[in-house]
């Protein structure tokens, strides 16, 4: 699980995208949001959700950087909202490390 969170932590995106995603996290509803992004069926659990969202976000970021005409900032923010919310969920489920 920490590998998935490390991959998430290495993401570096423009501040405006991150701010928009943080604002959207307040309205994040897991099941409908993930179904919209990943299709019908039960949303993946635990680290699987982050693992499936990372390549989707990476592809959107490649489109953004390349100024691709098919790039959708709305979809990119939507994916970032889900990715950030799912990473936050994972972190909250991790056992606390003892303080030194």
76 inside domain: yes
Q: What is the pLDDT of residue 91?
A: 83
Q: What is the pLDDT of residue 23?
A: 96
Query: Which structural domain range is residue 32 located in?
Result: 2-93
100 inside domain: no
What total number of domains does the chain contain?
1
99 inside domain: no
**Structure confidence by residue, pLDDT tens digits, 44-73:** 887 889 899 999 999 999 999 999 999 999
7 inside domain: yes
Mean residue pLDDT across the chain: 88
Pairwise CA distance, residues 52 & 38, whole Å: 8
Q: What is the pTM of this model?
A: 0.85
46 inside domain: yes
Half-sphere exposure of 60 (CA within 13 A, CB side): 19
Alpha helices in the chain (DSSP H): 2-9, 15-24, 30-38, 47-65, 73-93
50 inside domain: yes
39 inside domain: yes
């Amino acid at each position: 699980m920490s590998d998935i969170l490390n991959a998430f932590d290495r993401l570096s995106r423009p501040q405006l995208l991150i701010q928009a995603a943080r604002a959207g996290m307040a309205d994040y509803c897991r099941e409908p949001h993930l179904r919209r992004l990943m299709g019908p069926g039960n949303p993946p659990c635990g680290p699987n959700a982050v693992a499936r969202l990372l390549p989707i976000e990476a592809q959107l970021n490649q489109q953004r950087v390349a100024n691709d005409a098919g790039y959708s900032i709305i979809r990119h923010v939507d994916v970032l909202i889900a990715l950030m919310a799912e990473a936050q969920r994972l972190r909250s489920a991790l056992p606390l490390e003892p303080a030194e």
